[in-house]
Structure 1
Amino acid sequence: MESRIQIYPDVCNGRPVIAGTRIPVQTVMEFLGAGDSIEEVLEEYPSLNREDIYACMQFAARLMANHYEVRKIA
Structure 2
Amino acid sequence: MEYIFERITLDAELCDGKPTIRGLRITAQTILEYLFNGTTEEEILEQYPILEKADIEACKKFALEMMNKNYRIKDVAA
TM normalised by structure 2 equals 0.80
Unaligned runs of 5+ in 1: 70-74
User: RMSD of the TM alignment (CA)?
Assistant: 1.4
Q: Which runs of 5+ in 2 are unaligned?
A: 73-78
Number of residue-to-residue matches in the alignment: 68
Q: Which has the higher contact order (CA 8 A, sep 6+)?
A: 1
**Does structure 1 residue 36 correspond to structure 2 residue 39?**
yes
State the percentage of identical aligned residues.
43
**1:32–1:67 distance in 2 versus 1, CA, 3 Å:** farther
What do the CA deviations read for 1:22-65 (whole angstroms, capped 9, x no partner)?
A: 10000000000001111011011110010000001000110112
Larger strand share, 1 or 2: 2
TM-score, normalization by structure 1: 0.84
Are 2:59 and 1:17 aligned? no
Query: Does the alignment pair 1:58 with 2:61?
Result: yes
Structure with the bigger percentage of helix: 1
